[in-house]
Structure 1
């Protein structure tokens, strides 16, 4: 006998967020199914795997070092940003929309799987691919760019995990405004463009007016890359590199901004994420 369908209002989105052993099994099963679907979809797989590399390669032709951060460090840490934007954010917007329009999300909610498990399970393949690309980036940058091992590896890992969580939530919220997979190219554009500009990867923001520069510092990707650079090379470029303990003093402000974006992401997802088709 099928369990009654859960209410489709956004308020029930995070009714139960505790992930026990059974919950992890269900998330793993959903994640494996989504990974198979991702690998079968050539367009989605190409976007997730090759587009970040191609974009970084394009910008590498005119990037120059920023203060104490070398060009190699900018390329390597910028890769983290493009992984979060393309592998996690853009890829997940299209995935959530596709599953919603195929009524997969609605069917899943009629069973024992909770809302949180559905969202996390659907995001697992993107997060696994993102983590794999991050590891490969660290190894490649150490070998080819002669970058040192991370100054503060725990801080680097926290930045990547927190950034992944932020962009999963933003993807879930953005999917509510996206009617079809095709229109995701339009609805995701503001986040993609503003994040690239605001993080300084497309060019230095120092020449911009102070008010605009401060606004860019509040965008979701900027504090993530600041923590990544602090954890890897010990500086964001303005100050001399610091040691394991020294970077923690500089990590407070970007960490606080990330926490604010996590809160915004949860609220936006609860408000705008849609479980039923928009057709």
Structure 2
């Protein structure tokens, strides 16, 4: 890669990572089908939940939650496994011997997952909106901002989590805590309005809650109790913490 530009290096890294991703059938299945299956499953469950007073419909909650699932599964969980696999195969170590910077290595590895997530989210907004009769996003700038911020946050958290992960197999365990906490407490499918005040206040501080507030406000319109600015600041704060953790603890050498 001698003499190439940063854009060229990122493109080359992203293309190589995309090739590896496509060859991994399990990762492709999880990335493409699991979010859709989660939406169908959660929609059936949400029909039993009393959403009165939340201002949300079952369809709106299921689809916006689906966008959060895409960020978690396609970006976060998939990237943890990718970073660990490249580390254990000495790919990261070899890349560092060239002119590619650490930031470019991490970004290039994340590009395919992030672009795949954005493509799924765009399809979900277009097709899902028609299928569930939600219409076009009311505040597209908030929706796009939430998705971009969420992708950056999930990528940084994935790199940080990889430092705690010994192998690709154990990635399923190390990613589970954030997945479950976000699924139950970040407003993906259970609106915080149905929680007691103290529990809701604590859930507002979780990593993905701010992103989900922006996403839901962008698609369905800000609710009376939505603090869009506070949600953005919370997500930004978690992103800064995650980036610091990556700079401090990310492992480039195999854990053997």
After TM superposition, the score normalised by the length of structure 2 is 0.93
The aligned length equals 251
Partner of 2:232: 255
Counterpart in 2 of 1:26? Answer: 9
Q: Spell out, residue by residue over 1:190-242, the C-alpha distance to the aligned partner (whole angstroms, 9 max, x if none).
A: 10000111123343444544332211111111111110111111134x55xxx
Superposition deviation, residue 40 in structure 1: 0.5
1:123 to 110, 129, 148: 110
**Over aligned residue pairs, what C-alpha RMSD do you find?**
1.9
Separation (CA, whole Å) in 1 of partners of 2:195 and 2:145:
30
Choose which of 32, 44, 63 in structure 2 pairs with 1:61.
44
Q: The residue matched to 2:71 in structure 1 has which SS?
A: helix
Give, in whole Å, the separation in 2 of the partners of 1:255 and 1:113.
Answer: 32
**Corresponding position of 1:11:** none
The SS at the match of 2:56 is: coil
Task: Report the counterpart of residue 49 of structure 1 in structure 2.
Answer: 32
Q: Partners of 1:161 and 1:105 in 2: how far apart?
A: 25
1:275 corresponds to: 252
CA distance in 1, matches of 2:192, 2:63: 19
Instruction: Report the Cα distance in structure 1 between the residues aligned to 2:249 and 2:206, rounded to whole angstroms.
Output: 20
| 2:75 counterpart (77, 84, 88) | 88
Deviation (angstroms), 1:109: 0.1
Aligned mate of 1:37, from 9, 12, 20: 20
Cα gap change, 1:201 to 1:162, in 2 (>3 Å): closer
Asked if residue 265 in structure 1 is aligned to residue 242 in structure 2, the reply is: yes
The answer on whether the counterparts of 1:69 and 1:235 sit within 8 Å (CA) in structure 2 is: no
| Structure 2 unaligned residues grouped into runs of 5+ | none
Task: State the Cα distance separating 1:148 from its structure 2 match.
Answer: 2.1
Instruction: Tell me the CA shift for residue 72 of structure 1.
Output: 1.1
| Counterpart position of 1:6 | none
